[in-house]
Each structure stands twice: as C-alpha cells, then as structure tokens.
Amino acid sequence: MSTTEWADAVEALMPFMFRIETPSGQGSGFFLTHAAGGMIGIATALHVDAESFEWNGPIRVRHYKTGIANVFGPDQREIKAFPENDLAFIRLSAKGFSLPQGPLGMVSGNNTVRQGTQIAWLDSPQSPRMICVSSPVTSARI
C-alpha cells in the first residue's frame, strides 16, 4: 500500500481504537460491539490489563478519535481473560464515547491472507493521542 492508503486505513480505524491505561502500563484496545444496557465490548492484549484483572484495579479507557477518557473501577467493568492467547475482552459502559454504530468491513472471502501480503497493525505508544503503525510482509499464510 502507498503512504496515502495507509493514512486512509488509519483514519478509518481511529473511531474503533482505544488506549487502555492501568496504574502500571498502557496499550491499545479495539472496539468490537455495542452490547445491551448501554455497554460496549473492547478487545485488548491481556498483558495490557492483567494487573487490573488479577488485582481488581481500575482502568482508564481513552478513545483515540475524540480524546474522551473515563476511569472504570472493578465494579464498573468486566474483564474476560484468555491467558493462553494473551487476549482480554473488556465490557464497560459506553459512557460518553462516540462510537460507530456498524461493524468495520474486514477481509472477505475465505478470510486468509496469502504469504507475501503486506499487512499492518496499530498499537499504542507512549503518547495518549498517537497511534503507531507497523507494516511487515507476511512470511506465512494467515
């Protein structure tokens, strides 16, 4: 992809991106779905919020697109952990976040990416308002 196409992809993904902060670190999260009762679901790496999960601590969730941030105590959110995959799902209140109503269009067809295809992932560096884009080429079929 050209630089312009990557910039367009990042812009399209920004409404889905969150920064997850705990007392001991931070990482990125990705908005998955609206749930019943004004709740939303966010996916993240378990290592991002493992301390809050294990010790029942607070997390701050900051929406990249708007900058809106809210702190959620253990009684205001639920974390479902999958340690074998370093994966966590967080369920919490939409609480002022302006989020897309529909799903993000993803890979179609057989949902695989051929070897040699350029891919990218977005991550959360130290800046609360900046997203880091990494763009390797796949070395295996995924």
Q: What is the pLDDT of residues 107-136, one digit of tens each?
A: 565 666 677 776 666 666 555 556 666 666
The total number of structural domains that make up the chain: 1
- 69: domain CATH number is 2.40.10.10
Is 137 inside a domain boundary?
Answer: no
**pLDDT exceeds cutoff 60 at 79:** yes
Is 99 contained in some domain?
no
| pLDDT tens-digit series, residues 11-51 | 888 889 999 999 888 888 999 889 888 999 999 989 888 88
**Res. 87 pLDDT band, cuts 50 70 90:** very high
Where helices occur in 33-103 by DSSP H, the ranges are 46-55
Distance CA 102, CA 141 (A): 29
Supply the pTM of this predicted model. Answer: 0.79
- Residue 77 counted as domain residue: yes
Q: Is residue 37 part of a domain?
A: yes
Token duo for residue 34: 């609206």
Nearest to 22 by CA among 75, 59, 63, 47: 59
| Residue spans of alpha helices (H) in the chain | 3-13, 46-55
Domain of residue 41 covers 11-93
Give a yes or no: residue 140 inside a domain.
no
Task: Please indicate, yes or no, if residue 30 is contained in any of the structural domains.
Answer: yes
* Domain presence at residue 19: yes
